[in-house]
């Protein structure tokens, strides 16, 4: 096929594909908005945190089902019954919705503080016990870390995306140490997890989502090696990242800017 023929084919495809994508995107966002508003109404009224998280879980599952993003979950038997910290690669804004759908209500999320300012999302996240951390202000970041640590030492299980952000294309960015310092201080296991399919469904470069299968895989938990001493958090970080990188099968972007 010549370059001209390829260009013509892309133009023909875009002539019918783009309208379908716009229609699907409008449908998907409508579903998310309606389900989120219904969930928020319940979450504002429910008195117990566990009930509010269960409502959020049901809302996330319902949304993903209705918009044609089925989620396959593997390795749930590897998640300890007691306290733990789940860490996963970050590929899309959908990642939090997916983990809300697949994890038990005992898990809370640690999220960048910018999300607290998003009107609907910020209120919903606060009501389900999410912890917000500031990545740009050192003093606020240290204060946020102490608050999250108190939550962990009180027995709460937490979910982190230790990359802190996600890239436009495939690849695993370097991990921040905060999640692993929390796990080390709380003396609880770290459960690495891999998520696939969300970058295809809604990458950072596109506002219109696409339907598709999403897979979440939980890996064997890593128990803190207390003999590591002050290097415990770093050891947990490096072991977790290596396990995720091996299973993910994407490029290592640890040296990316």
CA–CA separation, 58 vs 176, rounded Å? Answer: 31
CATH number of the domain located at residue range(s) 3-253 in this protein: 3.40.1130
Q: What are phi and psi of 222, to 5 degrees?
A: -105, 120
Q: Which residues contact 158 (CB under 8 A, 6 or more apart)?
A: 85, 86, 107, 108, 109, 110, 131, 148, 151, 152, 179, 182
Q: What are phi and psi of 111, to 5 degrees?
A: -130, 150
Verdict on whether the full-model pTM lies above 0.95? no
Phi/psi-derived region of residue 191, left when phi > 0, alpha when psi is between -120 and 50, beta in every other case: beta
pLDDT range class, residue 155, cuts 50, 70, 90: low
Q: Which of 97-111, 120-134, 187-201, 227-241 has the weakest average pLDDT?
A: 120-134
Among 112, 121, 86, smallest CA distance to 191 is for 86
Higher-pLDDT residue of 114 and 179 is: 179
Higher-pLDDT residue of 58 and 130 is: 58
8 Å CB contact between 218 and 74: yes
Residue 232 confidence (pLDDT) above 70: yes
pLDDT range class, residue 226, cuts 50, 70, 90: low
Q: How far from chain centre, in Å, is Cα 83?
A: 19
Q: Which residues contact 229 (CB under 8 A, 6 or more apart)?
A: none
Q: ∠ CA(64), CA(240), CA(184), 5° rounding?
A: 110
Overall average pLDDT of the 160-185 stretch: 88
Overall average pLDDT of the 94-111 stretch: 91
Task: Parse the chain into domains and list their residue ranges.
Answer: 3-253
């Amino acid at each position: 096929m010549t370059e001209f023929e390829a260009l013509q084919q892309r133009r023909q495809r875009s002539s019918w594909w783009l309208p379908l994508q716009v229609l699907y995107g409008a449908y998907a966002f409508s579903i998310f908005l309606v389900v989120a508003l219904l969930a928020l109404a319940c979450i504002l009224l429910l008195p117990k945190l566990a009930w509010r998280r269960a409502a959020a879980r049901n809302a996330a599952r319902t949304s993903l089902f209705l918009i044609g993003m089925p989620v396959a979950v593997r390795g749930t038997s590897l998640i300890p019954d007691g306290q733990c910290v789940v860490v996963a690669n970050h590929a899309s804004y959908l990642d939090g919705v997916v983990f809300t759908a697949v994890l038990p209500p005992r898990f809370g999320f640690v999220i960048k503080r910018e999300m607290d300012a998003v009107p609907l999302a910020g209120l919903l996240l606060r009501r389900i016990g999410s912890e917000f951390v500031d990545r740009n202000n050192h003093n606020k970041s240290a204060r946020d870390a102490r608050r999250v640590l108190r939550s962990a030492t009180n027995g709460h299980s937490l979910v982190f995306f230790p990359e802190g952000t996600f890239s436009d294309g495939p690849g695993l960015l370097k991990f921040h140490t905060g999640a692993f310092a929390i796990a080390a201080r709380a003396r609880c296991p770290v459960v690495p997890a891999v998520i696939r399919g969300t970058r295809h469904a809604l990458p950072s470069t596109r506002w219109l989502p696409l339907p598709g299968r999403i897979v979440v895989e939980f890996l064997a938990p890593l128990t803190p090696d207390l003999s590591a001493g002050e290097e415990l958090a770093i050891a947990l970080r490096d072991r977790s990242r290596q396990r995720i990188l091996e299973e993910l099968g994407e490029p290592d972007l640890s040296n990316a800017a």
